[in-house]
Amino acid sequence: MTTTLDSLQQWVNEVAELTDPAAIHWCDGSDAEYQDLVKQMLADGTLSALNDENYPNCYLHLSDPNDVARVEHLTFVCTSDEDDAGPNNNWMAPAEAHEKVDALFEGAMQGRTMYVIPYCMGPIDSPFSRCGVEISDSPYVVVNMKLMTRMGTAALARIEGEGDFVKGLHSTGDLSPDRRMIMHFPEELSIKSIGSGYGGNALLGKKCHALRIASYQARQEGWLAEHMLIVGIENPEGETHYIACALPSACGKTNLAMLIPPDSHADWKIWTLGDDIAWLHLDDEGQLRAINPESGYFGVVPGTNSKTNKNAFDMIKHDAIYTNVGRTSNNEPWWEDKKVGEPAFDWQGRDYDASNGPAAHPNSRFTVAASNNPSYSSLAEAPEGVPISAIVFGGRRKELAPLVYQSKDWKHGVLVGAGVASETTAANVGEVGVVRRDPMAMKPFCGYNFADYWAHWLSFDERSDKLPKIFHINWFRQDKEGKFLWPGFGENLRVLRWIIERCEGRVDAIETAIGYLPKSGDIDTTQLDISDETMQALTSIDKAQWLEEMDAIGEYLDSYGDRLPAALKAEQQKVVDQLNQA
């Protein structure tokens, strides 16, 4: 297989010239191709087979111990003008970046097969979808791309029809962190990533294309590419509302996207559209609609069990790839909080020894096709996407942020999103548990200056009078002893119900300086063991703490200098004034 598209053929030739592979393989995305690659990786030790009886077609991959998470400090946005990348990104001049990274690509694929992977982000027949081609020397990347995206012949046909595509060049290189770089060239619609085989560093359709490059394109074209799950919530009357929710990596997006209603809500249904990325467009009527550009999940494994997320627990029992989990003595995958089995080996393949730390790496992952998910919505394939009723921002905050609140209007909602802060997680290399600003959960993923991004968000206000309502959630509030105040997981449906009732104008709320808070009793707590005092703590605000927070947000916004939209600063000042008056 090759291509009729000259620009693609020419790029493939140039890359082959630079990287000198032993062979070139054009991926067709077929099951047979997947099986062949699996066989080859089983033979060379890249994968090992898991217990075939209980985990049919499941495989384990152990990364280099130096290569287990995204590397934000080695990730660059290379625009001709540094200010276009903004203080939120590492920047390098495009010419210098190409020179540095090309030097590492020189001869990098010697003795290896170079895979050409055409993919489509979004349903093949959707006008909102965008295509790309990833060239990679990693068969592990190919099989992951097969599970995560619409990859192969149909994508190539669309690319050949359209003539343009995002170019993503990837090599695992020598896996040395000093020779690792994830470079984005939004003006050229291209990506060059070398030195990592892991997740968002290597599966270029995901964070690199569908967020960093797409966010840049989205601004030019008038839409939004966001780090959001998309979930449908069907009430007992059969009406479904769709919500798009931005949470930082490893803060429960997958669990929320495939939430299992608790027994108290047995007549409610949840439909998963996506667990990580949403592309949002206004339709002709001014309704915001969402598609999920992905078609699979790369989810955090530890903590998944039949109580926390039975759908996910069951969905990864077949046709799944595990990365960096431990194993039991009968070769089943094992992770902390799995609640069944015992670890015999850890994620580095060593005999399990508690003194070496957890058996599964905290950022260990599963890869599965979305079709494995029992709550997968058939509308995830709809070319026009689903109508969004509410946009929800959130983070992981021990203190301060209430369980839920609603912004006063769109502009204030943009401030709520811009002010999001969250404790860091194992999804990125670096310290875990430090609070940092993570606007719209896009800090690692916005492909351009946040100041321009907020201006773009604000501009939607002039384009529609039917915009979704904007909310903020925090499932992670703790008491002084470090115990979570809210049970989370399936019980989060109770908060989603309040959000929907607010969207429908069916429930009143308490107006405060930071937004609308639930009135006592309006979040249904029947059959929940939670005291009135706890609910009170979860749904009230501390004025002094919030004044401090709003000051910190003001300072953060000021760090964007002249490009910061004045309207956003005005929203922040309004909240400060109202807090002072309260």
- Would you name the residues annotated as active-site residues? 251
Looking at residue 378, the DSSP 8-state letter turns out to be G
We find the least distance from the C-beta atom of residue 216 to ligand SAT, in angstroms, to be 18
Q: CB–CB of 522/535 below 8 Å? A: no
CB of 401 to ligand SAT, least distance (A): 21
Nearer to ligand SAT, 249 or 539 (CB): 249
Residue with the shortest CB distance to ligand SAT: 200
Say what angle helices 410-418 and 566-581 make with each other, to 10 degrees: 90
126 contacts Mn ion (rule: CB under 5 A): no
90 is written with which tokens? 């590492």
Would you say 207 or 396 has its CB closer to ligand SAT?
A: 207
Nearer to Mn ion, 47 or 300 (CB): 300
Q: What gap in Å lies between CA 475 and CA 477, rounded to an integer?
A: 6
Binding mask 426-465 for Mn ion (x = CB under 5 A): ----------------------------------------
Site for Mn ion in 263-322 (CB under 5 A): 276
Among 386, 389, 405, CA closest to 495: 405
Smallest gap from Cβ 146 to ligand SAT, in A, equals 16
Cβ atoms of 395 and 433 closer than 8 Å: no
Binding mask 419-448 for ligand SAT (x = CB under 6 A): --------x---------------------
- CA dist 123 → 95, 214, 253, 374, 505 (Å): 35, 16, 21, 19, 33
Distance CA 262, CA 241 (A): 18
Contact call for residues 396 and 248 (beta carbons, < 8 A): yes
Q: What would the DSSP string read from start to end of 119-142?
A: EEES-TT-TT-EEEEEEES-HHHH
**Cβ proximity to ligand SAT, 123 vs 199, nearer residue:** 199
Q: Which is nearer to ligand SAT, 122 or 199 (CB)?
A: 199
CB of 533 to ligand SAT, least distance (A): 35
Count residues near ligand SAT (CB under 6 A).
8
Nearer to Mn ion, 70 or 265 (CB): 70
* Segment 240 to 269, residues that bind Mn ion, using CB under 5 A: 249
Q: Which of 380, 245, 254, 233 is nearest to 312 (CA)?
A: 254
Phi and psi at residue 282, to the nearest 5°:
-85, 135
Shortest distance, CB of residue 148 to Mn ion, whole angstroms? 12
Structure-block tokens of residue 204: 């270029």
Backbone angles phi, psi at 213, to 5 degrees: -70, -45
- Calculate helix-pair angle for 410-418, 543-558, nearest 10 degrees: 80
- Tokens standing for 26? 């054009």
CA nearest 264: which of 236, 244, 231? 236
CB of 278 to Mn ion, least distance (A): 11
Q: Which is nearer to ligand SAT, 21 or 252 (CB)?
A: 252
Chain residues 58-117 in contact with ligand SAT, contact rule CB under 6 A: 70
- The amino acid present at 479, given as its one-letter code, is D
Element (H, E) at 118: strand 113-121
- Interface mask (CB under 6 A) for ligand SAT, residues 304-343, using x and -? ----------------------------------------
Site for ligand SAT in 190-249 (CB under 6 A): 199-200, 206-207, 249
* Total chain residues near Mn ion (CB under 5 A): 2
Here the tokens at position 96 are 């210098």
Q: What's the min distance (Å) between Cβ of 319 and Mn ion?
A: 22
Q: Which residues, 6 or more positions from 41, have their beta carbon under 8 angstroms from its beta carbon? A: 47, 59, 61, 139, 140, 143
Q: Which of 105, 297, 298, 460 binds ligand SAT (CB under 6 A)?
A: 298
Report the nearest approach of ligand SAT to the CB of residue 200 (Å): 2
Q: Which does 200 bind (CB under 5 to 8 A by kind): ligand SAT, Mn ion, none?
A: ligand SAT
Query: Considering beta carbons, is residue 273 or 301 the nearer one to ligand SAT?
Result: 301
Which residues of this chain interact with ligand SAT, rule CB under 6 A?
A: 70, 199-200, 206-207, 249, 298, 427
Which residues of this chain interact with Mn ion, rule CB under 5 A?
A: 249, 276
